[in-house]
Structure 1
Amino acid sequence: MAARLNNIEFAKIFQRELDKAVAHNLLTGWMDRNAGQVKYSGGDEVKIPTINVDGLANYDRAGNTGYVGGKAEIKYYTYKMTQDRGRSFYLDKHDVDESGFVATMGTLMGEFQRTQVVPEIDAYRLSKCIKTAIDVPSDTNVEYSVEITKENVISKIKHAIKTIREQGYMGQLIIHATYDTKLALEEACMNKLQNVTWKTGGIDTTVPAFDGCPIIATPSQYMVSAIKLNDGKTGGQEGGGFAKGDSAKNCNFLVVASNAPVAITKQDEVRTFSPEVNQGSNSWKSDYRRYHDLFVLENKKKLIFASISDAKE
């Protein structure tokens, strides 16, 4: 008889499958790059640093004083995480044997990740970025009532890029655009957009770029200013997942500085229980939990611009 795989080995196999699914499918995976600066504390809090330094002063040659002292400050701000999501799945012991369980549950969890987890994470992250742009005072980082056409799409995107560059940010900008916006831009540029190599999740892909900014084609249902998360228990919410928020606005495109959003995943874990261990039923059981969030620091909020198709009110 083949050696029995234990629950830990099962979980490791599933975790690898889930990690691969995320790397291949997450459109906002690039936002995870900034998580290295985060300090994880207990409970639901994380700390993210903000650096402030004084500007240049005159160098004094007289009196051997030379350099004028300046102030450099690293201050950590505390943020509270809110997205604690999970699901349990069961496979009856008599529906699948041990050897087939790995392949069957691996396929199931991969499909769950691709069709449910990844879209929700993308939609949540993008909605927070869009809402951040909307909330900048005086509407400097948002434009409302925009109907994108091939005649105006270039000027609209250039205006968004200029708005962020005027803040003194000269780093990488990323454009999330609906497929309609991307199509209008391709038509305006006569399908001559430059292609660039875009790396996310350790995988190199080729994407179009405009003014050196990679364009990530994004489903329109992710490009909204708010989403509603179903709890999986309340009547009408049993299916879980997410939906567009009741008062959410639709976004044509979003321009984001690469260092503005800080995406954090505190837990991304699979637990697996064999029928012998599972006390609830004579079934294989797999639990999935993802504890995550996204934050934009106060001094980075003007580094995001949103083009909104709806009116302001």
Structure 2
Amino acid sequence: MAINYITKDNGIFDQKITQGLLTTILGIPQVEFVNGGKSFTLTTISTSGLKNHTRNKGFNSGTYGNDKKVYTMGQDRDVEFYIDKQDVDETNQDLAVANISNVFITEHVQPEIDAYRFSTLAAGAGKTKEETITEKNAYSAIKAAILPARKFGPQNLVAFVSTTVMDALERSSEFTRNITNQNVGQTALESRVTSLDGVLLVEVWDDTRFKTKFDFTDGYAAAADAQDINILVVAKQAVIPVVKENTVFLFAPGEHSQGDGYLYQNRLYHDCFIKEQQKEGVSVSLAPKA
């Protein structure tokens, strides 16, 4: 790790342009963990249906059950940064804990959470289709991905789409649009499509997080056999994006015994699940394997 010491600096930083946490729109459901542990249970109640009445004495017997599915947390992540007090001073506050924390959260934590959730939902989707999307089929492809989940209500659906798909939809030859005063300001034209049939469209322009498989050994990196995701339709009530713990500790010099510096610690314990009986609420379109 290189530290550049300076004598004068204007405080301007050159950092990656990153997209915020996109999957926060799915919400954070409250679940009851088993005995305070790392698992929680959802119950599915089932009954038999009606039978023909014979008009004899009595009724037909029915059956019922309450099957339980256990969901176990798996993503327990953490990091620690130690920043020597003099490194902060001699870099003209470049390495101030606030700067390091901000870069860490925006460039690593938020994209990793999305990457894990997108890949997990894509792997467990109730419907999966491989296709190449162009301006000739973008509109139909999105509608086809939405169709299996429409029964959850369009107001409860979110369709995450890649920038490639959004660009293709913008130039789609499958429908005609009129440019009105609502699209044109004094100096700007807005042509992006933000919803389709009442379903919110969210563009994922950071394609590093929009893939089917990742290696989370050190941060997140696309696996060698990962595929690009074109479209991921999610019914909010069909998924459980759980955050059990998100803890940040900051110790100033003298508040710990690990050295004369600042100690930053961050732990994130989270996971994402698809409800067993509601897999139709997740639909994915994948780009063909390279």
Q: With structure 1 as the length reference, what TM-score do the two structures score? A: 0.70
Contact 2:47/2:62 (8 A) holds in 1: no
> Whose radius of gyration is greater, 1 or 2?
2
Instruction: Give the % identical residues.
Output: 27
Within the candidate set 248, 253, 260, 2:238 is matched to 260
Residue 142 of structure 2 aligns with an amino acid whose one-letter code is I
Structure 2 match to 1:286: 264
Q: Residue deviations 1:141-196, cap 9 Å, x none? A: 1111x11111101111111222233xx43352110100110111122256779xxx
For residue 90 of structure 1, what is the aligned residue in structure 2?
Answer: 82
Once the two structures are superposed, residues 262-313 of structure 1 have per-residue CA deviations (whole angstroms, 9 ceiling, x without a partner) of 01111100112222232222111010110111111211222211111114x9
1:131 to 112, 115, 123: 123
Please tell me whether residue 179 in structure 1 is matched to residue 163 in structure 2: yes
Q: Could you tell me which residue of structure 2 aligns to residue 36 of structure 1?
A: 30
Show structure 1 runs of 5+ residues with no match.
Answer: 1-23, 194-205, 231-239
Residue 229, structure 1, aligned to residue 216, structure 2: yes
For the residues of structure 2 that align with 1:282 and 1:50, how far apart are their CA atoms? 52
State the match for 2:69 in structure 1. Answer: 77
TM-superposed CA distance for 1:55, in Å, is 7.5
Q: CA contact under 8 A between 1:224 and 1:249: conserved in structure 2?
A: yes
C-alpha distance 49-70 of structure 1, shift in aligned 2 (>3 A): same
Q: 1:161 aligns with which of 136, 141, 146?
A: 146
Name the counterpart of 2:7.
none
Cα pair 2:170 2:193 within 8 Å, conserved: no
Distance, in Å, in 2 between the alignment partners of 1:277 and 1:297 is 44
Give the count of matched residue pairs: 252
State whether residues 27 and 236 of structure 2, in contact with CA within 8 Å, keep that contact through their aligned partners in structure 1: no
> What residue is the counterpart of 1:48 in the other structure?
41
**Which residue of 2 is the match for residue 211 of structure 1?**
197
Distance in 1, Cα, partners of 2:245 & 2:63 = 40
Corresponding position of 2:285? 307
CA deviations on 1:200-235 (whole Å, 9 max, x unpaired) are xxxxxx9811111111111222221111012xxxxx
Deviations 1:62-99 (A, max 9, x none): 9xx99x988584x54222211111111122123447xx
Q: 1:281 to 1:300 in 2, by over 3 A?
A: same
Q: Which residue of 2 aligns with 1:220?
A: 207
- Aligned equivalents of 2:43 and 2:117: distance in 1? 21
| 2:246–2:269 contact (8 Å) kept in structure 1 | yes
Q: Mark the runs of 5 or more structure 2 residues left unpaired by the alignment.
A: 1-18, 180-191
Shift of the 275–223 alpha-carbon distance from structure 1 to 2, 3 Å rule, reads same
The residue type equivalent to 1:52 in the other structure is: I
TM-score by length of 2: 0.75
CA distance in 1, matches of 2:46, 2:230: 36
